[in-house]
Structures are given as C-alpha cells and as structure tokens.
Structure 1
Amino acid sequence: MYYHVYKDAANQWRWTLIAANNKKIANSGEGYFNKADCLSAIELVKGSASAPVRES
C-alpha cells in the first residue's frame, strides 16, 4: 500500500491511497495549493487509526 501524490488538472496537489492490488481505496477529496499541505493531510490520515467508526 502506498500514497500517490500528484498535481491535478487545476495544478493543485492531491493524494490517492493505492492498495497492494493497485486499486484506489481513498483520495484527498480536495486539492492543495502547497505540496506541504498535501503531505500534512496524508499524515493526518495515517494518524487517524484510533478514530472511532460510527454507523448510522
């Protein structure tokens, strides 16, 4: 599994999480003007392992 960081058509930074089978399983959902902000968003996702799962 890995994060793919790239620039979109609007020249903003985005990330996609790619599974071991090369399927996309998550993405940034928004573009970032600064690459550092995009990388910070990845770190937030990585650090969210203890976040609760809520069902409705």
Structure 2
Amino acid sequence: MLNPDLARFMYARSNATVVEIEASHVPHLSHPQAVADVISAAVDRRAISNETRHHAHPKVP
C-alpha cells in the first residue's frame, strides 16, 4: 500500500485530478454514489475534450 502523502505528491506532480473520499479501502461499497459521481464527471470531461478536439481538427474529405 502506498503512503497517502507519497500518493498525493505523485498525483500533484502528474497534474492528475484527485478526489479523496473518507472511506475504507472499498469506497465503491461504502460510498457508491460518490464513486459514481467521480466516474460520471470523468466521462463528461472526456466527452468535452473529444468534442473540442474534433472541432479543432475537422476531417478533410
């Protein structure tokens, strides 16, 4: 198991988006809605990123 402070350092260094939930080692069981919200937000960000990329570089026939 990683030391939480080391994990935070590495996440910050990689410019990752981090969400911390006060939970056991199985947050998907103890806080399923919070985990679902994080996943939904990531999917939404990815969709916006893909949409922006496609508009910036339209396909040429």
| TM-score bracket, shorter-length normalisation | 0.3 to 0.5
Return the TM-score normalized by structure 1. 0.34
Q: Please state which structure has a larger fraction of its residues in strand.
A: 1
Larger Rg: 2
Specify which structure has the bigger relative contact order, considering alpha-carbon pairs within 8 angstroms and separated by 6 or more residues. 1
